[in-house]
Amino acid sequence: MAAEIISGKDVAADVRDTVTKAVEALPGQPTLAVVLVGEDAASQVYVRNKVRQTEACGMRSLHHQLPKDATQYEVENLISDLNENDDVDGILLQLPLPKGLNEAAAIEKIHPDKDVDGLTETSAGRLSLGKAGMRPCTPTGCVILAKRALGEDLSGKHVVVIGRSILVGKPAALLFLAENCTISIAHSRTADLPGLCREADIVVPAVGRPEMVKGDWLKPGACVIDVGINRVPAPEKGEGKTKLVGDADFESCAKVAGSITPVPGGVGPMTIACLLRNTVLAACARRGWDVPEGL
């Protein structure tokens, strides 16, 4: 029996609908400020999508663009100005920054209460301690997708997260732990990775290795939340053509898994949806508003 396909597009649309209804119920309009440095084409597309979706949900979007030769001081000074602006609820620094700029230092300039990407050290500490705060968008999306496939109660599920990055692997493990799951974090030094995966109810590949996880790595009926986005040659489409694939070999995994996210169209759409959700949550926390039902 083929696995159920978990549509990130559909789930993200549901999250955006919830955010839109939440914004309508608020006494004011949340505001997201996006900072883009340079002229990276992919980043410009991402920012346009974020601005469009922010406004579509009824929120205000501020777009700040700095030239590619902007200095570290100019980037950090803009972030400081946005920290001081009471009208701004969330600050998003679009990554990657141009070469020569210190991304970590710039991120740390963002006030934790406006850190809607959940990337500052304070946000990471709050997550680790189980305290209220902003949660990283992509890992949050992974948990929401797993719940869509398996139900709201994930208690007791064994989750194997493959990858230990600070952007996805570690926070995803902590977020699943907060759902009362049993967590294994696997990485390049893990002994018998296929064997470990076969024990998992939920497998979250997040290492950036195309189609690494094979169907025979999975326990029958397991849920696969594939975070990987890899561009690989696609000679079947024509000379020089490419395609996007995940860290899981979709064809073989779909024959064994109970549910699986596709690439593209799985975890990817959830990232912006969770960013919008975080912006509303940040506005409520900053302004003393009640959090609308459903968020």
- pLDDT value of residue 238: 87
Alpha carbon distance 292, 80 (integer Å): 29
pLDDT at 194 over 90: yes
Catalytic hit among 50, 114, 157, 170: 50
pLDDT at 169 over 70: yes
Of the candidates 295, 292, 275, the one whose C-alpha atom is nearest the C-alpha of residue 28 is 292
Residue 94 annotated among the catalytic residues of the structure? yes
Catalytic hit among 89, 113, 117, 201: 117
Alpha carbon distance 187, 96 (integer Å): 24
Alpha carbon distance 43, 46 (integer Å): 5
Alpha carbon distance 224, 201 (integer Å): 9
CATH fold, domain 137-269, is Rossmann fold (3.40.50)
- pLDDT value of residue 90: 98
Residue range 213-240, pLDDT digits in tens: 999 999 999 999 999 999 999 988 888 8
171: helix, coil or strand? helix
Residue range 232-285, pLDDT digits in tens: 999 888 888 999 999 999 999 999 999 999 999 999 999 999 999 999 999 999
- What is the average pLDDT value for the chain, to the nearest integer? 96
Q: Do domains 28-112 and 137-269 have the same CATH topology?
A: yes
Residue range 12-69, pLDDT digits in tens: 999 999 999 999 999 999 999 999 999 888 889 989 999 999 999 999 999 999 999 9
Catalytic hit among 53, 94, 201, 226: 94
Question: Among residues of the chain, what percentage have pLDDT more than 70?
Answer: 100
The domain locations on the chain are 28-112, 137-269
Question: Residue 36 carries which side chain, given as an amino acid letter?
Answer: L
Residue 50 annotated among the catalytic residues of the structure? yes
DSSP state of 292: P
Q: Give the neighbor-by-neighbor strand order of the sheet with 90-93.
A: 60-66, 31-37, 90-93
81: helix, coil or strand? helix
pLDDT at 133 over 70: yes
CATH fold, domain 28-112, is Rossmann fold (3.40.50)
- pLDDT value of residue 1: 58
